[in-house]
Amino acid sequence: MDETPVPQPLDDDGALTKLHPNYSHALRVQTTLSSIPFLVGALVLEGAFRGEGLFPSGIIAGPVLLIALALIIRIPQTRYNARGYQISADRLRVVRGLMFRSDTVVPFGRVQHIDVHQGPLERFFGIATLTLHTAGNHNASVSLPGLGEGLAREMREEIRAHIRRETL
Amino acid sequence: MSDTRRTAPLSVAIGALGAIRSAVLPAIAIAFSGIGGGGRFLVALGVGLAAVAIGVVTSYVGWRRLTYTISETDIRVESGILSRAARSVPFERIQDVSLEAKPLPRLLGLVAVKFETGAGGADDLALQYLTAAEGEALRQLVRERREDVAVAAPAAPADPAAPARPADDAGEVLFALAPGRLLTFGLFEFSLAVFAVLGGALQYVDNVTSVDVWDVDLWYGWLKEQGSTVATLGPYAQALGAVAGLVGLLVIGSITGVVRTFLRDWGFTLTRSARGFRRQRGLFTRTDVVMPAHRVQGLVIGTGAVRYRFGWHSLSFVSLAQDDKEQSHVVAPFATMAEIAPIVAASGFRLPGEATRWQRASTRHRNDLALRDAAIFGVATIGAAIFAPTGLFLIPLGLAVLAVGANLYAWEFRRHAIDEAQVYASHGFLSPKQEIATRLKLHSVEIAQGPVARLRGYATVHLGLAGGSFAMRGVPINEARKLRAAVLETITATDYSRLDAPPHSAPAPQALSAAQSGFSENFLAT
């Protein structure tokens, strides 16, 4: 163990660091992409019933479009606001969840290995997902999406350095 | 000193026997099918012989091509007839070595040696088969090698103050199941699984014979026939018949339980040797498992709704290695708490005692759960009252009341506690299941809240335990935060790589003791 004063205030309930602003854009694109199949389905249904004259056109596609728009506009921002993290000298705290909140703390001393992952969308927005793996069955991997690419790598190095210091 | 060896030659014979066994059925199938007209018996014989020949040759070549090497630091197995695979497992990573003797290999004096690494199921290393003596020697060797590796490092700062490790005789029996106890155990293992087996057998009959067992009319006709016979007997005989049926069910269930228990746990012995626990059990399939004491991550004390009333409990060790099908190793399947206590002490844990400050789950959590369950049945009640015949709504209503009662009662058992070294949790519907884990050997802490939980101010605390799960439910949110802070204080004080080291040779005693005082303060605050 190193000589730096380890005991710092127990601020596990303190303020959270916000994720990269681009994360909410990425979420928005993701929501848009996943709502496309529903829109297409609604349009197909619409087309199928067009000739029947049972109800005015647009009664299926209209509401679906409205719901999709509402989700695309609202949800990414709320999800972005609900997420956050907090990194201190010896632990990482990850908070996530809109309805089902979860607040996880992983001490660096228990990290088995670290991943930095970027999907195509994340690459485009210059963000990355940091994943910490532990040996516990619950929370075997804790991932923190929406970090700036550089920051994610920086955090990985920091955690890795901490692990090495502890082991040597 | 690495030498390459082969498994016992007799394992070829077992492979060959297996081949014969699997060749018999197709041969019979051909013999009794229409294929080939008159000469079909010859065809069947030919196919059978060919299958046996191929099986024997494969088994022999497979044996020739499988070698294992024990080197200074690891064990290597090279296998494969056409494609070759070489697997190496460092001694350091072997969680436990188990010897398993199924009936046939046991007759031939062979055992299957399995090396558990925690990688799970099929990824583990197994040698089939070695002679019993060779298997035992191999296990001994693995244990010694591992001890060398483990002891070599921390042995240097020899701590005279450290209490002498219990390096006494190689086998102090901690727990054993005598046949009488086994019988009692079996009665509590009441099981109607035999009826499932019968159902399967019926299905088989259905396939083989022309009797369609799923034909409702057939059964209905049969029942009507029997029913008219029963109807002529009068009410007393009918009641007697019903009682006899119930008694029969009870007897069959009990016998099944006893037989299964005898097969599984015959000669159950748990011994404590210098560095590990050793468990032997089984009537026909004898298994012999060794678990290093320091690999035990947590304990689970289970019981059943009925046996709890009689004071019987079971004890399991949670570790990365897996037992047969279960996640943790049962080390005392049926024991009193007085018998469990010494085992717990030997594994370096402490049972919750007088000093343990149990905290109950939030009453709001209890009320919400009761309300939720009652609401489900309540909706059913309303539905039944409107649509179903009169009076039928009483059934879901009764269930709703039962659900509320059960939830209120379950709250009795929902508790958690924390002390300087360990965390405790207990839960259960009609009987408590207790979990104990070392604070130091936890890996993460999560506070999870659903929408209702957030509104009502309680949470579930999930603790990351290697090889098992550990959760405290319905903890008031402030308490949950304090709990997390306290546990994290302990975890961060020691790195993962130092977990297995004996506490007395910890690298920085000062730092550790500082942390100790730190978390006891925290504990006080809790």
For chain B, say whether A3 makes contact (Cβ under 8 Å). Answer: no
Q: What is the pTM of this model?
A: 0.73
The separation between CA A89 and the C-alpha centre of its own chain, rounded to angstroms, equals 23
Q: Is B431 helix (H, G, I), strand (E, B) or coil?
A: coil
Best of B456, B472, B496, B512 to substitute, by most chain A Cβ atoms within 10 angstroms, is B496
> What pLDDT, in 10s, does the model give residues A103-117?
999 988 888 888 888
B313-318/B298-302 β-pairing = antiparallel
Q: Which chain B residues touch A104 with a CB distance below 8 Å?
A: 444-447
Kindly state the percentage of chain B with pLDDT values over 90.
9
Q: At residue B267, what is the residue type?
A: G
Give the closest residue to B402 by CA, choosing from B382, B360, B362, B430.
Answer: B430
Task: Output phi, psi for B429, to 5 deg.
Answer: -85, -55
Say what the pLDDT of residue B169 is.
Answer: 42
pLDDT of residue B525 exceeding 70: no
The residue among B191 and A93 whose pLDDT is bigger is A93
Which one of B465, B470, B492 has the shortest CB-CB distance to A91? B492
Contact B433, B479 (CB under 8 A): no
Kindly state the percentage of chain A with pLDDT values over 90.
35
Give the closest residue to B422 by CA, choosing from B437, B434, B433, B435.
Answer: B437
Give the closest residue to B317 by CA, choosing from B430, B121, B174, B151.
Answer: B174
Q: How far apart are CA B184 and CA B40, in angstroms?
A: 54
Q: Cβ separation of B445 and A104 shorter than 8 Å?
A: yes
Contact B305, B429 (CB under 8 A): yes
Average pLDDT over residues B227-253: 79
Chain A, residues 104-163, CB within 8 A of chain B, namely: 104-112, 134-140, 142, 163
C-alpha distance from A98 to closest chain B C-alpha (Å): 9
Pick the CATH number of B3-150 from 2.60.120, 1.10.3470, 2.30.29, 3.30.1380: 2.30.29
The span from the first CA to the last CA of chain A, in angstroms, equals 8
- In the structure, what pLDDT confidence band is assigned to residue A144 with cuts at 50, 70 and 90? very high
Average pLDDT over residues B353-382: 88
Q: Which residue in chain A has the smallest CA separation from B466? A: A136
Average pLDDT over residues B86-97: 78
pLDDT of residue A58 exceeding 80: no
Tokens representing B10 are: 């007799």
Which one of B449, B495, B518 has the shortest CB-CB distance to A166? B495
Average pLDDT over residues B217-223: 67
pLDDT of residue B242 exceeding 90: no
Q: How far is CA A163 from CA A5, B71, B185, B389, in A?
A: 16, 30, 48, 68
- List residues bridging with B289 in a β-sheet: B98, B279
Average pLDDT over residues B263-291: 85
Contact B425, B480 (CB under 8 A): no
> What pLDDT, in 10s, does the model give residues B151-204?
544 433 333 333 333 333 457 888 988 888 989 998 888 877 777 777 777 666
pLDDT of residue B226 exceeding 70: no
Q: Answer yes or no: is the ipTM higher than 0.95.
A: no
Q: How far is CA B227 from CA B213, B222, B232, B234, in A?
A: 19, 8, 9, 12
Measured on CA atoms in the order B126, B149, A113, A142, is the torsion positive or negative?
positive
pLDDT of residue B460 exceeding 90: yes
For chain A, say whether B321 makes contact (Cβ under 8 Å). Answer: no
Q: How far apart are CA B255 and CA B257, in angstroms?
A: 5
Say what the pLDDT of residue B213 is.
Answer: 56
Q: Which chain A residues touch B448 with a CB distance below 8 Å?
A: 100-103
Say what the pLDDT of residue B510 is.
Answer: 37
- List residues bridging with B86 in a β-sheet: B78
Average pLDDT over residues B72-82: 82
CA dihedral B230, B233, B236, B242 (to 10 degrees): -20
Q: Cβ separation of B497 and A142 shorter than 8 Å?
A: no
Lowest-confidence range among A156-160, B262-266, B291-295, B488-492? B291-295
Q: Cβ separation of A135 and B320 shorter than 8 Å?
A: yes
Concatenating the DSSP letter of every residue in B476-523 gives: EHHHHHHHHHHHHHHHHHS-GGGTTS-GGG-S-HHHHHHHHHHHHHHH
Q: Cβ separation of B518 and A105 shorter than 8 Å?
A: no
Radius of gyration of chain A, Cα coordinates, nearest whole angstrom: 22
Q: How far apart are CA B77 and CA B75, in angstroms?
A: 7
Give the closest residue to B339 by CA, choosing from B178, B473, B501.
Answer: B178
Say what the pLDDT of residue B423 is.
Answer: 92
Q: How far apart are CA B249 and CA B421, in angstroms?
A: 48
Q: How far is CA A82 from CA A76, A90, A102, A135, B228, in A?
A: 10, 24, 10, 27, 69
A92: DSSP letter: E
Average pLDDT over residues A65-79: 89
Q: Cβ separation of B488 and A105 shorter than 8 Å?
A: yes
Q: Which residue in chain A has the smallest CA separation from B478? A: A13
Q: Which residue in chain B has the smallest CA separation from A106? A: B444
Burial (CB < 10 A; 0-12, 13-18, 19+), residue B355, is exposed
- In the structure, what pLDDT confidence band is assigned to residue B231 with cuts at 50, 70 and 90? low
Q: How far is CA B451 from CA A14, A48, B47, B210, B454, in A?
A: 21, 40, 65, 57, 5
Give the closest residue to A87 by CA, choosing from A144, A25, A40.
Answer: A144
Q: Is B212 helix (H, G, I), strand (E, B) or coil?
A: coil
